[in-house]
């Protein structure tokens, strides 16, 4: 099989830290172009707009979109219209309607569309899902706390409408929860703390209940300093399962059972290559749907202004 000639759209922190190493390590891909208004990559064709790339003589099979979510829909639509497979960095769009439109467009053209949830490829997630499959869930606790100044320095888009604020990392927790819990869960209430100078929350508390009535509590915090916390604890009839370090470590009743290196984006690109080979798509919006529910149902309170 010939290599998938890939264009990377957006060359910010996540693209440099995660996408570029994953692409370089997977011999099924060849990075042939970068699209960015502000950055380029030595030895790779550079364009300032996706339209310029698609009008050029650079042959491209697929596009990986690493832009903020707000402008992503027209870019993805443009790539699909040009016959290119598309990978969408999370969150896959600013709205559910945008993603549904892209799903229908990709299906109509026989192209691959992938919504990516990198945290689902953390080392402990698959074994956690397998262990929980036949357990009775009693309660779930999600604590996702990190320092926005460390992980999103200078990224003002995250505070704008559609930027998600603390739900940008929080959606990673929801992507894991929707993958490992054996029953669906539904939002019953939420509190969103929105800085007076921002449009999106900096902290959030969410209460869910699963289909059998088990409570699911999630707390997201963008103001955590010192040690960062990315933990999910599930109390069951057979003991307590805990995923820590964003899913990299799996404990059962305090005993470490699984631990592995960070291979989340390698997992994403492996899945993308297999989808392209199979002429298939993977469009899962369940984590984004929970975020949308929080914005619909959540009570907003004014928080102090955020000054980076």
Which residues are part of the catalytic machinery?
A: 90
Torsion from C-alpha of 217, 213, 179, 245, nearest 10 degrees: 30
Asked whether 266 and 159 are in contact (CB, 8 A), the reply is no
């Amino acid at each position: 099989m010939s290599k998938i000639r890939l264009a990377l759209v957006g060359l910010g922190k996540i693209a440099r830290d995660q996408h570029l190493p994953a692409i370089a390590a997977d011999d099924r891909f060849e990075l042939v172009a970068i699209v960015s208004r502000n950055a380029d990559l030595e030895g790779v064709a550079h364009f300032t707009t996706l339209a310029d790339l698609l009008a050029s003589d650079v042959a491209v099979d697929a596009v990986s979109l690493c832009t903020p979510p707000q402008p992503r829909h027209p870019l993805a639509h443009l790539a699909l219209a040009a016959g290119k497979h598309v990978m969408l960095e999370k969150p896959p769009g600013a709205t559910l309607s945008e993603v549904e439109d892209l799903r229908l467009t990709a299906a109509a053209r026989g192209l691959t569309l992938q919504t990516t949830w990198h945290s689902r490829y953390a080392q402990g997630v698959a074994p956690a899902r397998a262990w929980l499959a036949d357990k009775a869930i009693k309660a779930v606790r999600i604590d996702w706390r990190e320092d926005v100044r460390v992980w999103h320095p200078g990224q003002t888009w995250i505070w704008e409408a559609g930027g998600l604020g603390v739900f940008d990392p929080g959606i990673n927790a929801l992507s894991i929860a929707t993958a490992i819990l054996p029953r669906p869960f539904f939002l019953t209430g939420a509190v969103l703390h929105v800085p007076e100078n921002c449009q999106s929350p900096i902290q959030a508390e969410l209460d869910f209940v699963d289909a059998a009535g088990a409570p699911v509590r999630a707390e997201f915090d963008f103001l955590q300093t010192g040690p960062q916390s990315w933990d999910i604890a599930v109390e069951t009839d057979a003991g307590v399962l805990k995923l820590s370090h964003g899913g990299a470590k799996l404990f059962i009743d305090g005993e470490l059972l699984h631990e592995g290196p960070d291979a989340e984006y390698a997992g994403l690109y492996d899945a993308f290559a297999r989808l392209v080979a199979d002429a298939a798509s993977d469009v899962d919006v369940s984590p984004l749907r929970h975020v949308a529910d929080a914005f619909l149902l959540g009570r907003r309170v004014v928080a102090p202004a955020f000054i980076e």
